[in-house]
Amino acid sequence: MRFAVPTGALKFLLGWVIVFLFRLIPFRPPNFEPMLATIMPFSKKFGIFGSFIFGFLGIILFDAVTSGWGVWTWITAVAYGVLGIGARLFFKNREASVKNFLSFGIVGTIFYDAVTGLTIGPIFQGQPFMVALTGQIPFTLMHLLGTVVFATLLSPALYRWVVKSEKLELAVIPSIASRIS
Domain spans, the chain:
35-165
pLDDT tens-digit map of 64-75: 999 889 888 999
Taking the CA atoms of the chain, what radius of gyration do you get in angstroms? Answer: 18
pLDDT tens-digit map of 139-166: 999 999 999 999 999 999 999 988 888 7
Per the model's pLDDT, the better-predicted residue between 173 and 138 turns out to be: 138
CATH number for the segment(s) 35-165 = 1.10.1760.20
d(CA 2, CA 14): 23
The values of phi and psi at residue 24, to 5°, are -85, -5
Single out the residue of 63, 74, 80, 77 nearest to residue 24, CA to CA.
63
Q: Is the pTM of this model over 0.75?
A: yes
